[in-house]
Amino acid sequence: MAADDKKAVNTANSENENKYMLEIKELDVQFVSADETVYAVNGMDMTIEHGRTLGLVGETGAGKTTTALSILNLVPKPQGRITYGEINVDGKSVLNMSARELHAMRGEQVAMIFQDPMTALNPITPVGNQIAEGIRIHRKVGKAEAFEQAKAMMEMVGIPGSRATEYPHQFSGGMKQRVVIAIALACSPHLLIADEPTTALDVTIQAQVLKLIQKLRAEHGMSMLMITHDLGIVAEVCDDVSIMYAGRIVEHGTLEDIFDKMRHPYTKGLFDSLPNIDDRRSELKPIKGLMPDPTNLPSGCAFHPRCDYARPECAEMIPEVKWFSDTHCVRCHLYNDTDENML
């Protein structure tokens, strides 16, 4: 083979290997104690392409935050264990990284906006110093230069740089969240994980924070994993959507696939439980029952005890992935023999 041909093949292979900013394959995460085992993530598959935003949607306890912590290899030890699977960030295996490589990756290549800004910040350290810490680690600059860059980051997220010497208790909830965003974006990461970034904020501040995240993501060309239970947020900021139940992705597709062509009964239940603004007299249709106990998950499809469409095989076998297009797939026995929408 000619040298140019070899170069072309290698380039193609490289592009293929790094097609995804994030790729998770068959991930299992458990929390083990003397008395019981919590099966938090079970056979998780997920991909995020470069420059796209994926919304990870599910009820509390579905395993969304555990998935996020797994990406950074920060599952709390010794109880937390990644027992199986692969996590690749831009083609590199996170689970095979050394401590030094993980330290370099966190903050610079992958950064996270944590769920609660009230507890994400150190109460006894000025916010400017907290932003500057990551800059000093990854940019190898002096203390004074890092602090100046931290002030510039504060300005970028709408906080006067003059407040860099103040402490977290001197900021409102919305301002604290902006500080957390500044910390996450200080080193221009390639992948941003936003874990329920607006949960503790009122509606007006939620809208401001979401607009800010969208603006900064676009400016920096980042990929993003938006973890939420709010379908309104998904509609506003996401390109693709994964629906998670009991530690497993049950449906995945583009925003249009999920909102206009939903296939899984759980996805339908999430949408049916939303208020209908066109018919204010219509009653909500909550999903019956509760999320299963992660220490004692149901056999077969974990959703079958709550599902109006359950069949005998649903209690016996975990459904295989069924693809309806290049972008849309579902795990549901309803579609074993047909492509038609059974809902």
What pLDDT does 103 receive? 93
Whether residue 8 is predicted with pLDDT greater than 50 in this model: the reply is no
**Stronger pLDDT, 276 or 204, i.e. the higher one:** 204
Whether residue 222 is predicted with pLDDT greater than 80 in this model: the reply is yes
> How many angstroms separate the CA atoms of 199 and 156, rounded?
22
pLDDT digits (tens, 9 = 90+) for 118-171: 888 999 999 999 999 999 999 889 999 999 999 999 998 989 999 999 999 999
Work out the average pLDDT over 37-56: 96
- How far, CA to CA in Å, does 277 sit from each of 204, 232, 334? 19, 13, 30
| Confidence tier at 17 by pLDDT (50, 70, 90) | low
- How far, CA to CA in Å, does 218 sit from each of 39, 68, 242, 274? 36, 21, 21, 29
pTM: 0.90
